Amino acid sequence: MRHDHEDGSETDVLDHPSEHAEHAGSEEHQNHSGHGEHHDHGDHGDHVGQFRRLFWIMAVFAIPVVGFSEMFADLVGYQLPDAPWVAWVSPVLGTVMYLWGGSPFLTGAVSEVRSRKPGMMLLISLAITVAFIASMGASLQLLDAELGFWWELALLVVIMLLGHWIEMRSLAQTTSALDSLAALLPDEAEKVDGDDVITVAPGELVVGDVVIVRPGASVPADGRIVEGSASMDESMVTGESKTVRRDTGEHVVAGTVATDSGLRVEVTAIGDDTALAGIQKLVTDAQASSSRAQRIADTAAAWLFWFALGAAAITAVVWSLIGLPDTAVVRTITVLVIACPHALGLAIPLVVSIATERAARGGVLIKDRLALESMRTVDAVLFDKTGTLTKGEPTVTGIEPIDGRSADVVLALAAAAEGDSEHPLAKAIVGAARARGLDVPRSSDFSSSPAVGVKATVDGVVVEVGGPYLLDQHQHDELAVADDWRNHGAIILHVLADRAVIGALRLADEIRPESRDAVDGLHAAGAQVVMITGDAQAVADSVAAELGIDRVFAGVRPEDKAAKVAELQSEGHKVAMVGDGVNDAPALARADVGIAIGAGTDVAIGSAGVILASSDPRSVLSVIDLSRASYRKMKQNLWWAAGYNLISVPLAAGVLASIGFVLPMSVGAILMSASTVVVALNAQLLRRLDLTPAQSTAKFLDRRPVETSRARSAASIG
């Protein structure tokens, strides 16, 4: 059966195939070796493994290096064995740690020098190189024994490796959107070759080929239907759960599924010209542009690098001018080593690590650290409607009985007729009857007619459920209430008993009960709420009015969603996009923060920086809460790390030497370790956050948390 959209187009919404359960072709999607060009996204995963292995190896090496360090022994207060080999344990193993454990930083430093962009790698390399040279010089008795701080070199390498391991792990927690897009295509296509049908790879198809798409199978390439009609599951491309009837002459997109009938499709686009490839390119471009964002810690490291060099140069010059060249060497080296605080390497990764763990407990999965940092500045949240603010499945929201029958009787008869159907609308009707506790009679002689409806015999009465075409067959008019329902974007089905209309059913996509609180909470957080949908304006306006949404983009084609995000950004907004479909992927990637509903498609999840494990839109408030809290901790940690430098470096340089105070290297080393402890403890305070959707919403709405939302349903039944 069909229902009319506001734009006048008609879409089949109730075809009841006997073959509906035939989905064997879906097994094809388990292997996609033919799409290997998309499998080069594991670099971060390799880096995680490298840093993890290197960290544990260097941690083992660090134990004897620290334990046999003369300076560390003096600090702690124990005696080293009186043996010649003891003096060489730290130098030998320390050299291994510098060359092996320090290699990632040294390599990174070379890259930063070449790009003329000093950052964390150069600062770390400067510290460990100076520490190595000074310590080796002290061990060879070429420099003052005070400079023999092998233990500090070991701790620097180990702690920096730990920080980068944590950092790379957070970057690697991602799925490949490109792999997910490729997986939508079948591995094989059935091409018509004269009177024969041959099996080929989708990549071998050319424009003009005719392919057979069997029930339950995916369309291998964009094309035009030349024979047959089918209800197409386009949810992987549009995000809309409702099947759409496609007839001869209409266009179909690669990756969509013919749910009920076979088709013959003439290929009209292949390769880069397909809609799927276009989406893929948009995702790739948007992700590439967002990955170039400058990180806070790198900026701090760059400033600290120049600060350290400047302080070291001034120290060397001043102490040399006053005639103390030996002291100049000791003070300069001390400044350069102290200038690399352990805390800086952990300041951001540790906060992110704890933040992501807390988020996961609250049903929020953080894939992209930059997304977490950016969420605090978002002032416009763009929601996809279907499957995000709504449940993405039809629900009976109204019953209009006539001729003295009750709503329960009409619903029970409709449910009896629909009992043998697997169609989403049929399930909605049966579910509504079950929810009311109705006694649904058994039916017999079930049949379905594409684009018309269903028919069954119930207690000797022929009951039919369908749309306009069913009414046309029996020369009946719609009930008067149908116009009002249609204006609110509802699907309208009429129920007939022995050819006479006995009532009508209104079905609509049910609004999630949490959506109202989500919108109210976002308003309280200072964000504008925007909704985007491919549905007609009337449908969108109805949902927006129900939820109190500020702005609506209706009738938006899948390929234009990213453009709407760009439009909001051009108005000066920091945009978070919340979606669940493949069609949302470019918009998710284009937004300042992409948030995917966990129940959505793999492609949407792969394109987003944040994933909501549940379908609760209130979780967006959890992300904002977490972002603001973690940003405060990042700032505090960075200020502690930098503040430590601002105080300790001048003291190590000897600015108070005139009053007899010069910061000893040992004390500087202790302060460095203390800064790490402070940063770690400060980050641990994030564990007190309760990021459950109810708690986060209550925080923004300044009320006690409740587990049940006060949001209203889309409409009451009756």
- Residues serving a catalytic function are 384
Measured distance CA(628)–CA(611) in Å, rounded: 18
Measured distance CA(607)–CA(289) in Å, rounded: 13
CB of 384 within 8 A of CB of 391?
Answer: no
| Residue 506: exposure state from Cβ atoms within 10 A (0-12, 13-18, ≥19) | buried
Token pair listed for 404: 């003295």
Q: Long-range contact list for 41-45, CB < 8 A, 24+ apart? A: 41/174, 41/176, 41/178, 41/179, 44/168, 44/171, 44/172, 44/174, 45/172
Residues 6+ apart with CB under 8 A from 681: none
Contact 355, 630 (CB under 8 A): yes
Question: Rg of the Cα trace of the chain?
Answer: 33
* Residues ≥6 apart with Cβ < 8 Å to 700: 521, 522, 524, 525, 621, 624, 625
- Cβ contact 342:155 at 8 Å: yes
Count CB atoms within 10 A of the CB of residue 654: 22
Closest-CA residue to 164 (of 175, 154, 172, 174): 172
Residues 6+ apart with CB under 8 A from 349: 163, 164, 166, 167, 170
CA angle 250, 255, 261 (to 5 degrees): 55
3-state secondary structure 160-206: HHHHHHHHHHHHHCCCCHHHHHHHCCCCCEEEEECCEEEEECHHHCC
Helix, coil or strand: residue 497? strand
CA gap 408, 17 in Å, rounded:
27
Q: Is 284 helix (H, G, I), strand (E, B) or coil?
A: helix
- Tell me if 632 sits within 8 A of 641, measured CB to CB: no
Q: Dihedral, CA atoms, 505, 390, 513, 565, nearest 10 degrees?
A: -150
Tokens representing 451 are: 């684009």
**DSSP classification of residue 260:** S
Q: Which helix (H) or strand (E) holds 93?
A: helix 86-96
In the three-class reduction of DSSP (H, G, I as helix; E, B as strand; rest coil), residue 573 is classed as coil
Q: What distance in Å separates the CA atoms of residue 497 and residue 416, rounded to the nearest whole number?
A: 12
